[in-house]
Structure 1
Amino acid sequence: MGTYQLIKNLARDRGVSIAKVEKEIGLSNGSMSKWDTYYPNSRFIVQVADYFDVSVDYLLGRSTYQKDTSVTASAVNIAEIVTKLTDADTELVKALVTRLAD
């Protein structure tokens, strides 16, 4: 499925018109319909992704997940540190992080 079709589906599912989306991100009326035949400027793809709260990869058809589910670099760094701890210390860190998240 192409980018424009994905955007049309998102707009339909959220009850907004393509014209409204175009207006709110600063595109002229009918601009998105051309996205069937060429890729738009990356700035507009990012704006549409932000508008619908989906990932750019989803809009480009590179992912079937609407939200980015990748692990951040910080999470990887924390995981690397935790693997060096004792089991008891790992449980303490887990309890601390759980308390902070609440």
Structure 2
Amino acid sequence: MSDLVNRIEKRIKEKGTNFKRVEQELGLGNGTIKRWSTQSPRLDKLVPVAEYLQVSLDYLVFGSSVSETSTNGDRPDLEAEKERQGLTCDGLPLSEDEVDLVAMYRLLPPSHREEIFDLVYFKYKRHVEEKKASIYSTYFDGSEDEESGPAGSREARDGTA
């Protein structure tokens, strides 16, 4: 079994339950969790398992950082938790979307991470350098009532094409 499934199994045993019961209570298909030893889990399936087992995604995926859920079942203050864990950028706590993006990024294999990093870097660089001109602007000027294609370009309309 994978480390992920082993960590889940360990927590399931500590809670005195079993895979089948956890899957039933979370609305997962029979055998879903054990399949994660050979298939990457979807984040929307992994998050409820982590919450049910009262552990962090970091713990399940990487084996560190057990979530600090209080004994009475209350969840910790998310903003305080983000700050405590250092989930900030430019001194501000990350938004839920940003935290989700980081979690999804961490779950990707290294080759996919490189691809995502390159894409984000390209978009960032284009934004910073304000390179707004693109081939798209050759065909469209922003109005919705025009046909696509070279004949509808600004140059063709102005007689310069």
TM-score (norm 1): 0.63
CA-to-partner distance for each residue in 1:25-78, whole Å, 9 max, x for gaps?
1111111111101211101110011101111111112x42212761465xx66x
Within the candidate set 70, 82, 98, 2:85 is matched to: 70
Query: Which letter maps to 2:46?
Result: I
Give the Cα separation in 1 of the matches to 2:67 and 2:34.
24
Query: Which letter maps to 1:70?
Result: Q
How many residues are treated as equivalent by the alignment?
A: 74
Query: Which letter maps to 1:67?
Result: S
Match of 1:40 in 2: 41
Query: Which letter maps to 1:66?
Result: V
Match of 1:26 in 2: 27
Query: Which portions of structure 1, spanning 4 or more consecutive aligned residues, are displaced by more than 3 angstroms?
Result: none
Give the Cα separation in 2 of the matches to 1:18 and 1:2.
16
Alignment of 1:74-93 (within 5 A): none
Higher helix share: 1
TM-score (norm 2): 0.41
Query: Which letter maps to 1:53?
Result: Q
Query: Which letter maps to 2:85?
Result: S
Aligned-partner SS, 1:60 = helix
Give the Cα separation in 1 of the matches to 2:3 and 2:38.
9
Aligned-partner SS, 1:67 = coil
Match of 1:8 in 2: 9
Between structure 1 and structure 2, the one with the greater Rg is 2
Identity of aligned residues (%): 28
Aligned-partner SS, 2:51 = helix
Deviation of the 1:15 alpha carbon: 0.3
Query: Which letter maps to 2:61?
Result: L
Unaligned runs of 5+ in 1: 78-102
Q: CA RMSD in A?
A: 2.0
Aligned-partner SS, 2:59 = helix
Unaligned runs of 5+ in 2: 69-83, 93-161
